[in-house]
Amino acid sequence: MKIRTKRDCSKAAKLIGEEDITALIIAEAFGLSENEEVTKRKAMRLKLETATSQKELWEVLDESSRGSEIELEALKKLLENAHTQEERWAVLSETYASSEIKFKIVREIISHDTSQDELVRIYRENPLSELSEEALRKLCEIL
């Protein structure tokens, strides 16, 4: 098989049995990809979409660019799959770009069984915000 076009790359990848990532690799090897950055984004998107564990999602997060759409989606998935407060705090500590994501994570932390220390921490780290009000309200309920 001669590889001259992107379609040829896809055909070769199908023959190998690993369609998406292999097609990108073959296209890159033959100089047929858009550019390195586009190829990397597509590979990261595919990795994000096929991630089946928290470990794989953390890998996507580590490899993605800060503030990128892929980083935000990985953070959202990590939060959705977080089962403990420690996991939620870990996701929060990795959140740089989006205050919307931070807000969602802190709200998620507050909504679960939150210790007094955690609530005080939230209150102090989010002064004069809706989150500090929620943390204070929950502290009052506990006390």
Mean pLDDT of 29-53: 75
Mean pLDDT of the chain: 74
Tokens in use for 125? 């780290």
C-alpha to C-alpha distance for 104 and 99, rounded to whole angstroms: 8
Quickly state the pLDDT bin for 76 (edges 50, 70, 90). confident
Domain assignment present for 139: no
Domain range spanning residue 107? 6-112
**pLDDT (0 to 100) of residue 31:** 63
Domain assignment present for 84: yes
Percent of the chain whose predicted confidence (pLDDT) is above 70: 66
Alpha-carbon torsion angle 44, 47, 52, 57, nearest 10: -20
Domain assignment present for 128: no
**pLDDT (0 to 100) of residue 84:** 81
- Tokens 């999602």 map to which residue? 57
Structural domains counted in the chain = 1
Domain assignment present for 137: no
> CA–CA distance from 95 to each of 10, 11, 42, 128, 143 (Å)?
36, 39, 22, 20, 30
DSSP structural state of residue 117: H
pTM: 0.54
Domain assignment present for 131: no
Quickly state the pLDDT bin for 11 (edges 50, 70, 90). low
Domain assignment present for 125: no
Domain assignment present for 138: no
Mean pLDDT of 89-113: 71
Domain assignment present for 143: no
